[in-house]
Amino acid sequence: MSRPVTIVGNWKMNLNRELIQEFFFFLEEAKFTTNVVAGFAPQAIHIPLVMQHAKKFGFIVGSQDCSSEISGAYTGELSTEALKDMGVDFSLVGHSERRTYHKETNELLNKKVNHVLNQNLKCIYCIGETLEEREAEKTFEVLKAQVHDGLKGIEIKDPSQLIIAYEPVWAIGTGKTATSDQAEEAHQFIRRQLTEIYGEESAQKIVILYGGSVKPNNIKELLSKENVDGALVGGASLKADSFKELCE
């Protein structure tokens, strides 16, 4: 089963207008083209700017989070309706920084995943265990709950709209990458859970990204694994030369 190789840069709370312009200027000068599905999740306020540039390269652009409500009196929130209306392609949901700093639970994230998919946007649903959970040999238990509770009751019409990002929390921003075998073991497990929910045919079509200190020097090894379909990249996606190398 061939799934499209997908590389998404999660820019978190970084970059400004000038740096974003320089980023795309570099890619233009380098006559960058790519065979992979590539994209960015910038800060929400930068989405329109990134979209202007992204079109030239065919990049997909998305948000780093969205509201668990549809619309209404929720000051400071970002609705999936507005994202759709602005022409955004996807939203991340459940990044570990949201789970940790904003106490987002699988139950809350279930509502977000549902709203994103209902708008026909791609949903990149992030899951992963902490170091403590790994050391207590709870990795698979945690992943199982994140998959089953986060996707509870959610039907998928088009399996390519749902993307799972496996990001072991201990590997995010730490320089410690999971070995390709550890990543493959987790991805296989996740695909088995998806098979239980959606059946073999659909589960085989769902892209599963690895995230956590992915760099140009380790991406090839990670992507050599059968169930690792791409990467969600933080730090190494902030510089255009390194992003270009990742896609190449």
| Contacts with ligand PGA, residue ranges (CB under 6 A) | 10, 167, 172-173, 211-214, 232-236
Burial string for 125-153 (b: 16+ CB within 10 Å, else e) reads bbbbbbeebbeeeebbebbbebbeebbee
For tokens 């075998």, name the residue. Answer: 181
Q: Which is nearer to ligand PGA, 84 or 244 (CB)?
A: 244
> Side chain identity at 17, as an amino acid letter?
R
Q: From the candidates 97, 104, 167, 184, which is the catalytic residue?
A: 167
Question: Rounded to the nearest whole angstrom, what is the least distance from the CB of residue 196 to ligand PGA in the complex?
Answer: 26
Task: Work out how close the CB of 20 gets to ligand PGA at its nearest, in angstroms, rounded to a whole number.
Answer: 18
CB nearer to ligand PGA: give 4 or 173. Answer: 173
Work out how close the CB of 222 gets to ligand PGA at its nearest, in angstroms, rounded to a whole number. Answer: 12
C-alpha to C-alpha distance for 246 and 218, rounded to whole angstroms: 9
On whether the CB atoms of residues 59 and 39 are closer than 8 A, the answer is yes
Per the CB < 8 A criterion, the answer to whether 227 and 187 are in contact is: yes
Q: Are 228 and 208 in contact (CB under 8 A)?
A: yes
Q: Which is nearer to ligand PGA, 130 or 204 (CB)?
A: 130
Active-site position among 53, 95, 115, 187: 95
* Inter-residue contact 109 to 150 (CB < 8 Å): yes
Q: Tell me whether residue 107 is one of the annotated catalytic residues.
A: no
Comparing CA positions, the residue from 140, 178, 141, 147 lying closest to residue 162 is 147
Helix (H) or strand (E) holding 8: strand 6-10
What is the closest distance, in whole angstroms, from the C-beta atom of residue 8 to ligand PGA in the complex? 8
- In this complex, which beta carbon is closest to ligand PGA, that of residue 160 or of residue 218? 218
Is 155 an annotated catalytic residue? no
By beta-carbon proximity to ligand PGA, the closer residue of 159 and 211 is 211
Shortest Cβ distance from residue 10 to ligand PGA (Å)?
Answer: 4
DSSP letters for 42-84: --GGGHHHHHHHHHHHT-EEEES---SSSSSS-TT---HHHHH
Shortest distance, position 97 Cβ to ligand PGA, whole Å: 7
Instruction: Give the nearer residue to ligand PGA in terms of CB position, either 142 or 231.
Output: 231
Task: Look up residue 116 and give its amino acid.
Answer: V
Residue least distant from ligand PGA (Cβ)? 234
Q: Which of 122, 128, 37, 139 lies closest to 88, judged by CA?
A: 122
As given in the structure block, the two tokens for residue 39 are 């994209």
Q: Give catalytic residues, as residue numbers.
A: 95, 167
